[in-house]
A = this chain, B = another copy of it.
Amino acid sequence: MKKSLVVQKFGGTSVGSIERIHTVAEHIIKAKNDGNQVVVVVSAMSGETNRLLGLAQQIDSVPTARELDVLLSAGEQVSMALVAMTLNKMGYSARSLTGAQASIVTDNHHNDATIKHIDTRTINELLEQDHIVIVAGFQGVNENGDITTLGRGGSDTSAVTLAGALQADECQIFTDVDGVYTCDPRVVPTAQKLDVVDFPSMEEMARKGAKVLHLPCVQYAWHHQVPLRVLSTFDVNDGSLIKGEVGTHPVCGIAIQRDMAIVCVHHDSLSSLTKQCQMLGIEIWNVIDEADWAGVVVKHDACAKLELVFSDKIRNTELVSLLTTVGLQAPHLVARSCELLAEKHIDVRYISTTNQSAMLTIAPQDVVEAANVLHSAFITSDEVIHEPVIQASLG
Check if A55 sits within 8 Å of B78, measured CB to CB: yes
CB distance from A389 to the nearest CB of B (A): 57
Complex CA distance for A189 and B98, rounded to whole angstroms: 49
- A56-111 CB contacts (< 8 Å) to partner B: 56, 58-60, 63-64, 66-68, 70-71, 73-75, 77-78, 80-82, 84-86, 88-89, 94-96, 98, 100-101
A122 at the interface (CB under 8 A from B): yes
What is the total number of copies of this protein in its complex?
2
A35 at the interface (CB under 8 A from B): no
Query: Beyond A18-B58, A73-B77, is A68–B52 a contact (Cβ under 8 Å)?
Result: no
A145 at the interface (CB under 8 A from B): yes
Check if B101 sits within 8 Å of A85, measured CB to CB: no
Check if A18 sits within 8 Å of B70, measured CB to CB: no
Check if B88 sits within 8 Å of A64, measured CB to CB: yes
Check if B96 sits within 8 Å of A59, measured CB to CB: no
Name which residue of chain B comes closest to A122, CB basis.
B145
Check if B85 sits within 8 Å of A77, measured CB to CB: no
CB distance from A218 to the nearest CB of B (A): 31
Complex CA distance for A95 and B146, rounded to whole angstroms: 10
Check if A96 sits within 8 Å of B78, measured CB to CB: no
B residues near A18, Cβ cutoff 8 Å? 55, 58-59
CB distance from A324 to the nearest CB of B (A): 41
Query: CB-CB contacts of A248-289 with B at 8 A, as 1s and 0s?
Result: 000000000000000000000000000000000000000000
B residues near A122, Cβ cutoff 8 Å? 145
B residues near A74, Cβ cutoff 8 Å? 74-75, 77-78, 81
Complex CA distance for A100 and B59, rounded to whole angstroms: 26
B residues near A88, Cβ cutoff 8 Å? 60, 63-64, 67
Check if A71 sits within 8 Å of B67, measured CB to CB: no
CB distance from A171 to the nearest CB of B (A): 24
Can you list 27 A-B contacts with CB-CB less than 8 angstroms, sorted by A residue number? Answer: A21-B59, A52-B78, A55-B78, A59-B82, A59-B89, A60-B86, A63-B88, A63-B89, A64-B84, A64-B88, A66-B95, A67-B81, A67-B82, A67-B84, A68-B81, A70-B77, A70-B80, A70-B81, A70-B84, A71-B82, A71-B85, A74-B74, A74-B75, A77-B77, A100-B100, A101-B145, A122-B145
